Structures are given as C-alpha cells and as structure tokens.
Amino acid sequence: MNELFLKIINMSISASWLVLAVLILRFVLKKAPKWINVLLWGIVAIRLICPFSFESPLSLIPSAETIPLNIGMDSTPTINSGISAINNAVNPIISQFNTPMAGASINPLQITIGIYEYIWIFGMIALALYTAISYWRLHRKVDTAVRYKDNIFQSENVSSPFVFGIIKPRIYLPFKMNGQDLEHVVAHEHAHIRRKDHWWKPFGFLLLTIHWFNPLMWMAYVLLCRDIELACDEKVIKELGNEQRGDYTQALVACSVNRRMIAACPLTFGEVGVKERVKSVMNYKKPALWVIIIAVIVCVGVAVCFLTNPKQDSYTLRIVVPAGSQEEFVYTDEEVSAIRNSIKIWSGDGLGDTEVLLSPVNKTTETGYTATYLTHGMPVEFDAEKNTWFKIGVNMQNPTNEDIIVYVEVENVEVRIVDEINSVIKWFDYTENPSAMDDESTINLPIYPDVTFSYNQAQIIASKNFDTSELTDHTILITGMPIWNAYFTDLTGDDYPEICATYTFGSGIIDSRIIIYDYAKGASYELSDRGYFDFTLRFNEADGYLYVDKTKYNTDELVETGRLVFKNNCIQIEGFSNEAHQDSCKDPGTNGQSI
C-alpha cells in the first residue's frame, strides 16, 4: 500500500509541473479559442491517471520519480527531484530525522509514510462523503421538478439553471425564467451536454479527490470549471450570432443570483464566474486560423514535453569490496558517460564518508581526476568530457572474510554495462601475495558449456564431459613453475575469451613469462625474453584492462608498461618501445610457441 501512495505522490508532483506550464499558457494563448484551455487541462488529467510513461529527451519533467518507492526501506533515505537545490535542502533533513537506529526493527520513515497514507485515505473519504451528501441534497431539491419539455425541468426549489446527471443529464431551470433568458440558458446548457462537460467536471473532481493534498490540483480544478464555461459560451455565441451578445450576457447576469448550492455540488453545472464570462462574451472575436494552428501545435508540444518522462540520468551503482582487501580504490562494474559535461556522485547505501574517484576507461581525455572526499548527503561533482566513459571508484578496505557491497548514486550520466565476454574476468592472482596461493581452483564460464577449467599451481587444465573437438576431454593448456595469475578476456574479438596468465619457467635461470591461450582455436601466444627481461600480467582496475609490466631480469626495476591488445592479427603490447616485445604473431594452428 505504501508503494501505491508514493506512486500517487510522484504522479502528482510530475503533474504539478504541467499545471504550472498550463497556467502560463492560459495567459500566453489569450487569443486562442477557449476550448484550447480545456484541452490543456485534459493533458493534465492524462498525466494524473497514467502510472507509467515513455522516456524522451524532450521531456521537461525534472524527475520521473521524485520519491523512490523503496525510500521507507532505505537506510539513507533521499529524494531525487531533478533539481539539485531542492535535493541539497531536503535530503539532509530526511536523513537527519529518518535514519534508522542501530538494531531498530523498523525504519522511522516507514512510520511517517504510514501516517501520511492514512491522512491521504481519510481526505479521499471526506471528499467522497461531501460529494455524496451534496448529490443527495440536490436530488431532494429537484425531486418535485416538473418537465418543461424533453430533458428540461423546472422547479420552485431551483434559483439558478444547471445540468444534473451523468448518464441521462437533465437541465433544471427556475420557474421564474422565461422568454429570451430561458432560450439562451437552454442553448448554453445544451452546449454543455453536447460537449460532454457533464462527464469532464465529475471526472476532474474524481482526480481532485485522489490528489487532494496538492494545492495546485485545487487551482487546476477551479480553472477547469471556468474554462469549460468560457468554451461553452464561445460555442453558443457562434451559434446565436454576434447580434445577440447583449441578450446572452443579460441571461448570464440573471443566472448569477443565489447559485451557492449549485456551485457546491461537483456533479452539477451551474453558472460560475459570471463577471469574467460576460467580459469574455462581449470581447469575443473569431480567432484567425493561424492562431488556432499555433495553439494546437502548442498543445502537441505540451503533450510531448510533459506526458513523457526524462531519460534516466540518475542511477544506483554497486561496488563490491573484496574480502580481506586493504585500503584501496575499488570500482563499479558499470561505466558511465556524462550527459551535461559533469558527473555528480552521491554516497549510497552502505557507503560512509570516503574518497571517491572518477577514472577514465580510455585515454582519449586529457583531464586528470583527483580523489575527492565524499560525505553523505553532500554530492561531489566532477567536470567530465562528453563521449568519454568512466568508472567510479571509492577508497575502501574490508578486513572481513566476506565481500562487502556498497552503492553510489550518480547523476547526469548514461550507463553501459560492460559485456562479460569483452570485460576482464579474474580467476586468480597471487603476484602480490604469494603466500595466499591455493593448491587448487576451478572456474566455469557460460560461454564454454560443459567445460571446467582447473588450476593446481603448476598447470591449467580444461576438462570436458564429452569430447566434441580436437581437444581431448582432459587437456593441459598451460604449464608453469608456478602459474601466478590467470584472467579471461576476449582479446581477439571472436566473442570467446582467451586465458591470459603469468608463469615462471626454468631451473637455474628462472624467468617470468606471459601466455595467452586461445581455447576456442587451440592456439597459444607467449611473451618472453629469457635472461634479459621478465614480464608480468596485471589487471588495471582504473580502466578495466590487462597490462604487461616489463622489468629487468630477476629485478624489480620497471622498464616499461603497456596494455595488452590484439591488433593486425597479433597479440600486442601498447606502449612498448622494443618491437620484438610489441608483437606476438603466429599461426593460430600452432601451439605453445615462444617469440
């Protein structure tokens, strides 16, 4: 039930922006036909009744969901109004008074929302009772009415004409009305019925009953009733002719006396706003065709801009902090790109005050980013080049034995999920912590069904349930003394990931080498320079790629480093100066050959 209540509030907030736009357009379109105003209120009604909408870059709604439907369950509740000033003012207050206490069985915000929900329901019941009582009282007044003709009735209890009823509407007139006044009033009420206004006013009041808590909806309903009357007056004037304007306005004035009961009932149509209507009738001029065309175009534009939701530019991204990790930056799996030349980051669920970093995935940008301190409720905003993709990192440590999951909220971005095949999948890496080396490890990848990859320090083996290729059902892929790390990534672009590993080789002269095993083709590529240089594979969390570090043989002196790529049908190391160490090209049909 809470979700329904919050959904109604979000719909009301979205419609409020449309109401404000209509208030402005009513003034701008003064020369347009009055039915245009009624059409604009119809667009507001659509926004109020539709629980969903399409996304559009043309949308002028700041936020499709100002209040998250799960805000009551959030340990750090926040809103997203789409306007930073509002978020900055409201979110600290919400967090201050509604953050759950440690060990509490229920979030305080859940209680608050529950109270507001009951108030909302009570308000709807009150308005529904008001409508029912008004209808009953008015029905009693006209119960003794006498038929004048057709659906027109007269009653001594009626002091002002009105339309009553939805399915079979009736026109009720006072007995004292006759002559031209009666003729003009009947023409007006018949115009209401032909325009189905006896449907639209009750429907508008039904929407008001649901959204009664929104002051703008009360204003919208009052103006809807006035605009309906003005549109009806214009229709009658066009039918009667300009020469009868004076008589028609005289009838309006006569109908304006003692109309309190009629105006109070939302299921009737009485003569309201007489002063404004008389002025409108006397000043009426048939609008030019170009005015009507422009007004219709404006209505279409309003529908496109306010019936659609903004393209989502705010996301909640997950960051996994590995078990046993020391203080370091850990990054989102997803990549983000700026929409408006900046990226705003908020602290999300599970994340306390810490440093946050924006790390470019590629190197097309020259902008450098410095780690910035992120405090809950206070966002950090980075300038960011468009069409550049980034990963978001936070400085965290996890001394526990289980992974920790934290979240960041990010605005003004589009998000892409890196394809698992094209991303780097870590199997194991003991280069930084050899003492943690496991005796055995296995991994399965969906891309290779029925294949289990096994590791036992000295070998990586592929085991298959059934022999469906030239490989045996138990194939040794890589041998080392030992194998230090192994990653899966698609370097060749064939949508099948290769195994990329670092291992040491030899006795006496022991050097470190890199091997890439293309399991799909049964081919391997090796990078080594025995006795001169060592090569170590590492994963760069900042951009999500594999890099090769080249050091002098049997030392830690770094000579150069570069990214592992596949170009021109060769395994290459970007950034290496020595061409002999840049390429690892060989016929995929050969196996295990060094270069």
Residue-by-residue DSSP string for 418-459: PPTTTS-EEEEE-SS-GGG--S-EEE--TTSTTEEEEE-SSE
Worst-scoring range by mean pLDDT, 139-153, 327-341, 536-550?
A: 327-341
Say whether pLDDT at 22 is over 90.
yes
pLDDT at residue 366, as a whole number:
42
Spatial separation of the C-alpha atoms in residues 43 and 47, rounded to whole Å: 6
Say whether pLDDT at 102 is over 60.
no
Residue that is written with structure tokens 């030392």 in the block: 555
Spatial separation of the C-alpha atoms in residues 426 and 340, rounded to whole Å: 34
Say whether pLDDT at 282 is over 70.
yes
- Residue 340: phi, psi to the nearest 5? -125, 40
**Cβ distance 522 to 471 under 8 Å?**
yes
- What is the average pLDDT across 238-265? 66
84: three-class secondary structure by DSSP:
helix
Overall pTM > 0.75: no
- What is the average pLDDT across 422-444? 83
Worst-scoring range by mean pLDDT, 304-313, 564-573, 583-592?
A: 583-592
- What is the average pLDDT across 238-245? 75
State the pLDDT confidence band at 578, using cuts at 50, 70 and 90: low
554 contacts: CB under 8 Å, gap ≥ 6: 510, 511, 534
Spatial separation of the C-alpha atoms in residues 178 and 180, rounded to whole Å: 7
Say whether pLDDT at 42 is over 90.
yes
- What is the average pLDDT across 433-456? 83
**Cβ distance 161 to 201 under 8 Å?**
no
pLDDT at residue 262, as a whole number:
45
Half-sphere exposure of 40 (CA within 13 A, CB side): 33
For the record, the structure tokens of 53 come out as: 């909408």
Domains of the chain: 2-143+188-306 (no CATH), 314-416 (2.60.120.1300), 425-584 (no CATH)
Give the rounded percent of residues in the chain with a pLDDT score beyond 70: 86
Tally Cβ neighbours within 10 Å of residue 126: 12
Say whether pLDDT at 587 is over 50.
no
Spatial separation of the C-alpha atoms in residues 465 and 148, rounded to whole Å: 92
Between these two residues, 375 and 215, which has the higher pLDDT value?
A: 215
Say whether pLDDT at 129 is over 90.
yes
Residue-averaged pLDDT of the chain:
82
Say whether pLDDT at 569 is over 90.
no
pLDDT at residue 473, as a whole number:
60
Say whether pLDDT at 271 is over 60.
no
Say whether pLDDT at 585 is over 60.
no
| Ranges 86-95, 206-215, 473-482, 513-522, most confident | 206-215
pLDDT at residue 211, as a whole number:
97
State the pLDDT confidence band at 106, using cuts at 50, 70 and 90: low
DSSP string over 349-361: TT--SEEEEEEES
- What is the average pLDDT across 360-364? 59
State the pLDDT confidence band at 90, using cuts at 50, 70 and 90: confident
Spatial separation of the C-alpha atoms in residues 265 and 138, rounded to whole Å: 8
Say whether pLDDT at 103 is over 90.
no
Q: What is the 3-state secondary structure (H, E, C) of 28-52?
A: HCCCCCHHHHHHHHHHHHHHHHCCC
**Cβ distance 449 to 371 under 8 Å?**
no
State the pLDDT confidence band at 591, using cuts at 50, 70 and 90: very low
pLDDT tens readout for residues 534-560: 999 999 877 778 999 999 999 989 998
**Cβ distance 409 to 78 under 8 Å?**
yes
Nearest to 226 by CA among 33, 39, 38: 38
pLDDT at residue 594, as a whole number:
36
